[in-house]
Chains A and B, each alone.
Chain A
Amino acid sequence: MPESRKSRLTRPETLTALGIIVAASGFLFPTFELRAISALLPAAMLIGLIVLSVVLLLADQRKASAGEGAAPMTKSPKRVVGAFLLIVAYALATDFIGFYVSTVVAVPLVAWLFGYRSPVGLLIATVIVVGTIWAIFDFGMNQDFPTGRFWGR
């Protein structure tokens, strides 16, 4: 597959390798404050990550210069980003407005947004999921769930 990107540096593997190099270099600084024996393994791993990422980067750039295209990471980037954002939003909502309220909204919302449009099915699924969680975890196992920082609890 020929390369369709404008810049060779935006190839997924190159970007990942650069990301690893930056992150590993950042983590390398705190190792200087550790005792030598304590820093041995983490420093070895971080240096290993940097060296290996350089190898990965060079290999990927060599492929790019040979005209070999890199497959995109996803065919539907909007759906993937949307899914990630919804999951993060659900986690934040659980933290700030509470587990049950967030779950009652999140289960049908995620399913609806991603293509399941039966209102009855969504209602039944939400009742079953939330009801089962309450019965097993809250009622049966006395498991506490977040009640929401927003409410000061």
Chain B
Amino acid sequence: MYADLLHALPDVFALTNFAAVIIGVVAGIVVGAMPGLSATMAISVLVPFTFGLEPLVALGLMAGIYNGAMYGGAIPAVLLRIPGTPAAVATTFDGYPMAQKGEGGFALQVAVVSSAFGGIASAFALMLLAPPLSRVTLLFGPSEVFWVAVFGLASIIFLLGGNPVKGLISACFGVFVSVIGSDPIYGNDRFTFGQLEMLDGINIVILLVGLYALPPVIDLLETPLKTDGINSSKLGTESIWKALPRMNYWKTWLRGSFIGIWIGILPGAGGSMAAFMSYNEARRTSKHPETWGEGEPEGVAAAEVANNADTASALIPALTLGIPGTAVAAVMLGGLLVHGLQPGPMLFRDNPDIVFGFMWQFLFGAILLVLLGGSLATNSFARLLNLPRPLLGSVIIVLMLIGVYSIHGRMFDVYLMLGFGAIGWVMDRLKFPLPPVVLGLILGGFAEENLRLALRIGRGDPMILFQNTTSLILVALTIAVIVGPTLKKRYIDSRKSA
């Protein structure tokens, strides 16, 4: 099993594949550094452009962007107290006070080294845990696969927090979109309204770009961001190699990596939760907790190591079960599907070089962070904050149109994307979670096909879905995921009132 891992290594070092990771990391840092843009949005815009590329080039770009963006979010968090990505909120607590004291450069160097540490740990976790887990899923039949899909949807709806009714509405919408097109078994049209363009169903990329790229563009155009430029001109950066000996945060890095990896594996949780947990733990165990919040570099290390440690680990359930741990993982899952790579055990059996190569690309992407996000580059990336947002918005609009148009070479898809974009904007503003929509689209067809297959095997008897231990365990887990948060809330409320 792990021999495939070594076998995939030479392909990763092919010039184009390695260059893709480098370009991805740089692009990711740029995107992460722009408040309002995120890795999810960047990968959504990127996916349609990767159609013609070799899978490892496309995946290398995605892995690089994901790693880069998680660090890039620290740049405005430190310099402007505006987190570039949601996961960088905890970085502002100590990063911004450091910048005010003229230590912004060191704060960013701590952030980049910690991000790289977290990313490396996460990549190793992916390499170690995904292959054996994928073997377990080989034992699954149609009814188990159906329940895995239901469990995945339930996890992302109920563990994501927020309003479960809104989460359910999002998921129902996603699943409904997944059934548009020809029926997979009988071939009759469903909700195509005579449009030939819809016979093959809704391409996931159209949905991704609409939901994840259009709302941030509207945000960019809606709110002009004013930067004072003070902190970015007083970075006080020295060489990263000189700064390294000052970073003695091994305990924080190890603890934060563990937290980040664990949170990444859990469906529905995400980088911001990991960063907060890691920050709180590091502060709780610190000998000088009173200095935290006033410019403590270890605070930056704790937040950044954890938010990068959840990157590759979020792909463990995504690659093995088809259940993404985070929104970015959901979008990456869409990217895999675009290249004909169906997540699950068959992925490891049929495309070992690609799937293991992807894991290596995550590892190298994390290592490259230190080299590309080092002292000189950090200064340059900090200047990105001065890029005019309206101009950036107009360029992204053009990229969205090109990307979606190039899928099938037709404007119909562009109009469809704009429709999903409008829906996405409303959902975003009313705090409807978007990941369940994507997951609903990915898992909807998958769940339906396996449900119908199971019912055929059981000659129409729905009890076939409950007739083996694995199915029952998955049903129990689904119920636990649905009921768990409510019970926990009641328990906390009862303790508060007691």
Contacts and interface: CB of A to CB of B under 8 A. Distances in A.
Q: Do A and B come from one complex?
A: yes
Interface string B297-330: 0000000000000000000000000000000000
A143 B406 contact: yes
B464 interface: no
Interface string A115-148: 1101001100100010001000100010111100
A97 interface: no
Interface of A: 12-13, 16, 20, 27, 30, 34-35, 37-38, 40-42, 45-46, 48-49, 52-53, 55-56, 59, 73-76, 79-80, 82-84, 87-88, 90-91, 94-95, 103, 106-116, 118, 121-122, 125, 129, 133, 137, 141, 143-146
A146 B411 contact: yes
B202 to A, nearest CB: 13
Interface residues of B, number: 53
B405 interface: yes
**Of B169, B391, B421, which is in contact with the most chain A CB atoms at under 10 Å from its CB?**
B391
Contacts of A46: 172, 176
Contact of A41 (B52, B217, B221, B444): B444
B402 A45 contact: no
B429 A12 contact: yes
Nearest to A122: B391
A113 B391 CA distance: 10
B481 to A, nearest CB: 18
A45 B222 contact: no
A122 B176 CA distance: 42
Contact of B176 (A49, A55, A94, A114): A49
Interface string B150-188: 000000000000000110110011011001000101101
B145 to A, nearest CB: 15
B429 A129 contact: no
A121 B391 contact: yes
Interface in B389-408: 389-391, 393-395, 397-398, 401-402, 405-406
B11 interface: no
B281 interface: no
B430 A73 contact: yes
A113 B222 CA distance: 11
B426 interface: yes
A116 B389 CA distance: 8
Interface of B: 52, 165-166, 168-169, 172-173, 175-176, 179, 183, 185-186, 188, 190-191, 214, 217-218, 221-224, 388-391, 393-395, 397-398, 401-402, 405-406, 409, 411, 414-415, 418, 421-422, 425-426, 429-430, 444, 447-448, 451-452, 455
A114 B179 contact: no
Contact of A45 (B172, B217, B218): B172
Contacts of B223: 75-76
Contact of A55 (B165, B218, B409, B411): B165
A13 B426 CA distance: 10
B54 to A, nearest CB: 14
A42 B401 contact: no
A27 B426 contact: no
A103 B283 CA distance: 51
A46 B191 CA distance: 12
B429 A74 contact: yes
Given A94-B414, A95-B411, 4 more contacts: A45-B176, A45-B179, A91-B414, A146-B411
A76 B222 contact: yes
Nearest to A143: B406
Contacts of A106: 394, 397-398
28 contacts: A12-B429, A12-B430, A34-B188, A37-B455, A38-B190, A42-B190, A49-B169, A49-B172, A56-B169, A73-B426, A80-B218, A83-B218, A84-B422, A87-B397, A88-B418, A90-B401, A91-B401, A94-B401, A94-B405, A95-B411, A108-B394, A112-B390, A114-B389, A115-B224, A116-B388, A118-B388, A129-B395, A141-B52
Nearest to A113: B390
Contacts of B222: 74-76, 79-80, 83
Contacts of A82: 221
Given A80-B218, A83-B218, A42 B176 contact: yes
Contacts of B448: 40-41
Contact of A114 (B393, B401, B452): B393
A110 B166 contact: no
B31 to A, nearest CB: 17
Contacts of B190: 30, 34, 38, 42
Contact of A16 (B176, B388, B402, B426): B426
A124 B62 CA distance: 29
Nearest to A42: B179
Nearest to A39: B190
Given A42-B190, A94-B401, A84 B176 contact: no
A53 B391 CA distance: 38
Given A34-B188, A56-B169, A111 B218 contact: no
A-B pairs with lowest CB-CB distance, top 9: A114-B390, A110-B394, A45-B176, A116-B388, A111-B391, A83-B221, A116-B390, A111-B390, A73-B429
Which interface residue of A112, A113, A114 has the most chain B CB atoms within 10 A? Answer: A114
Given A83-B222, A116-B390, A52 B429 contact: no
Given A27-B191, A38-B186, A48-B172, A110 B221 contact: yes
Given A73-B430, A106-B394, A91 B221 contact: no
Contacts of B415: 91
A151 to B, nearest CB: 15
Contacts of B168: 48, 52
A42 B393 contact: no
A1 to B, nearest CB: 16
